[in-house]
Amino acid sequence: MNLVRVWGVACRYGARAAARNLALALALLATPLAAQEIRIVALGDSLTHGYGLPPAEGFVPQLQAWLRANGEPEATVINAGVSGDTTAGGLARLEWSLADGADALIVALGGNDFLRGLDPATSRANLDAILTQAGARDLPVLLSGMRAPGNYGPDFKQAFDAMYPELAEKHGALYDPFFLEGVTEDRALWQGDGIHPNADGVAVIAARIGPLALDLIKRAR
């Protein structure tokens, strides 16, 4: 047997196999991986729910559309907003709001607490409990704040407004100081009730919160 010839054939075969394997590996690297779905639960009140708006024009669908247009095509935002809900209501339904699975959580509650004149200490305790439960689930959180009016007195306003940044810092949450930032001064962005933004106003909010939601998704991954 010509061992030299056999060795040469084997080497050529091995080289071809190695080349095929290398080509396959390069092809796999060049093929974009399927994007991972990210489920974000938005826990809130009527501002989250989309009160007075067609379903496609509320905060949740507009935020989802913004995320998908800005690099997160598989982002899904789940509407866990209930009109009239307080921080206590949000805490009470948190467990089942997350029951179908979540990768991240947006919390936008508190407006109805100050409208009802509820003790800020109680609102703080409820939000604290929501963030604690999210932490126990390893869910990154974006906490969006509200600002109390001055008609309850300076002590109420100071206690209410301060709870959001303090709780965000305590729990390591992303922080959005004011959910309605960017729309409060332009009455053309409000519905007739003067309480809820219209579709154009929601678009402003979604575009402003969008970059924070992108950071939230990075944390979720």
49 is catalytic: no
Q: Which of 49, 97, 144, 196 is catalytic?
A: 196
Q: Which of 45, 138, 193, 215 is catalytic?
A: 193
Q: Do residues 204 and 183 make contact, with C-beta atoms less than 8 angstroms apart?
A: yes
Cβ within 8 Å of residue 22, ≥6 positions away: none
Per the DSSP assignment, residues forming a β-bridge with 176 are 144
In the structure encoding, which two tokens stand for residue 94, read together? 């948190």
46 is catalytic: yes
Cβ within 8 Å of residue 92, ≥6 positions away: none
Q: Which of 46, 97, 123, 144 is catalytic?
A: 46
Q: Edge to edge, what strands does the sheet with 38-44 contain?
A: 75-81, 38-44, 104-108, 141-144, 174-176
155 is catalytic: no
Q: Hey, which residues are catalytic here?
A: 46, 193, 196
